[in-house]
Amino acid sequence: MLGKFVVRVNEKGILTRDGDFRQILNPGRYRFWPFDGEVKVSTFAQDTVMPADAVVDYLLQNRPAEAEEHFITMTLTDSEAGLRFENDVLVEVLPPGARRFIWKGLKQHRLERFDLNASAELPMAITIRLNAANLKSRAVAGLDGILVAAVPSYHVGVLRENGHVTALLPPGMKAFWRFNRDIQVELVDTRLQVMEVSGQEILTKDHVGLRLNLVASWRFSDVETAFAKVGKPADYVYRELQFGLRAAVGTRTIDAILENKQDIDEMVSAHIQSKLAGFGIEVASLGVRDIVLPGEMKNILARVVEAEKSAEANVIRRREETAATRSLLNTAKVMEDNPVALRLKELETLERVAERIDRISVFGGLDQVLNGLVTLKAG
């Protein structure tokens, strides 16, 4: 039976007989007799990548002119990466050793090559394109082969290549090839930062368990030096704050700690300053925020404080009573030697009594009242 095939105007066709390649078909209508074997025509949209390159390899080796007529060939070495453009629009990131065979059509195709041994960083113009590519509706294939690092203001990007710090990145946008290397960018905030060392269970010198919370403010004074000497600077600062706090608390009694917490701050500060010297890190301030006592110790201290305050109150009360008695004794001595003073005291007493009574009846004169013969009657 006569085989009829149609290759549309936006397509290319590949003719095979019994699975062997015969020729490339341009758009049109075709008829083939199956006398020489099974005939098959596979059609492909123009400007698309050839899904299998066996046919192209055959053409390149045996019919190079025909391969040049129908295909755009893109090949990369093992030390190259590439960016594939269609009509000057980025459509694909090509890894090392990649091969692409694209049907020629209405679009303009080009490949931009990059030597991976020369530099890991992409040019700024390409970085801008990559950033814009994320906003397009059409996804760019192979973007996971590029690391795009956005370093915000007041930050520094620590670039690590195969585990080694190779550069510090200023604020801005950078892009790097991931092919043939392990590349990472760690963002570092250069502003003053707050670190909390919370819930530290520490025994004092007299074996009392305390829970302490410490707060410190720190920053990088030299980022490159810090990351050159310590893998994780923030973890190092936290650990040294822990050690300093434990050393300060463990060498003092509970009474000394509660009496002056400032001593703990000063001891921890001295410890951390000595440990961070030359590491590109500085601690601006630190202090113990909370000291939490165990339940039994709270009750004991509450009773001690209560007893101390009660004793202080008794001392004050006794002092006031002694002063009052001494005053009365002095008054009595004055009145004993001075009748006029005694008479004035009696009149003062009578005045106070009269203030509390609405009506007073006196018989026998005022002297009788002063001598104790006084009759008081409520009005």
Residues 263 and 198 in one domain: yes
Total number of domains in the chain: 5
CB 48 within 8 A of CB 103: yes
pLDDT at 373: 39
User: Do the bridges between strand 20-25 and strand 11-17 make them parallel or antiparallel, or are there none, so unpaired?
Assistant: antiparallel
Domain limit, last residue, from 259, 293, 327 = 293
In a domain, 67, yes or no: yes
Element (H, E) at 106: none
Residues 248 and 169 in one domain: no
Domain containing 109 equals: 54-116
Residues 15, 39 contacting (CB under 8 angstroms): yes
Query: Are 68 and 136 within one domain?
Result: no
Q: Same domain for 107 and 123?
A: no
> Is residue 128 included in any domain, yes or no?
yes
Instruction: Single out the residue in 191, 222, 250 at which a domain terminates.
Output: 191
- The distance from CA 148 to its chain's CA centroid, rounded to whole angstroms, is 21
- Same domain, yes or no: 367 and 377: yes
Domain match, 201 and 245 both: yes
**In 10 A of CB 194, how many CB atoms?**
9
Q: How distant is the alpha carbon of residue 191 from its chain centre? A: 12
Q: What pLDDT does 270 receive?
A: 93
Q: Are 200 and 152 part of one and the same domain?
A: no
On whether residue 269 sits in a domain, the answer given is yes
CA distance 301 to 310: 14
Q: 377 — phi, psi (to 5°)?
A: -130, 135
CATH of the domain at 209: 3.30.479.30
CA distance 305 to 309: 6
Judgement on whether residues 288 and 200 belong to the same structural domain of the protein: yes
Asked whether residue 345 falls in the same domain as residue 275, the answer is: no
Do the domain assignments include residue 361? yes
Residue 332 lies in a domain: no
* Whether 212 and 289 share a structural domain: yes
- 353: helix, coil or strand? helix
In a domain, 320, yes or no: no
Kindly report the pTM of this predicted structure: 0.66
Grouping H, G, I as helix, E, B as strand and the rest as coil, residue 339 is helix
| pLDDT score recorded for residue 147 | 93
- Whether residues 199 and 211 share a domain: the answer is yes
Among residues 99, 116, 133, the one where a domain terminates is 116
Residues of the chain with pLDDT under 70: 1-2, 36, 52, 133-138, 294-306, 309, 341-343, 346, 350-351, 353-379
β-strand 164-169 against 155-161: which pairing, if any? Answer: antiparallel
Nearest-angstrom CA–CA distance, 87 and 123: 20
- Name the residue among 134, 133, 135, 114 with its Cα closest to residue 123: 114
**Co-location of 218 and 284 in the same domain:** yes
Q: What local confidence, expressed as pLDDT, does residue 50 receive?
A: 87
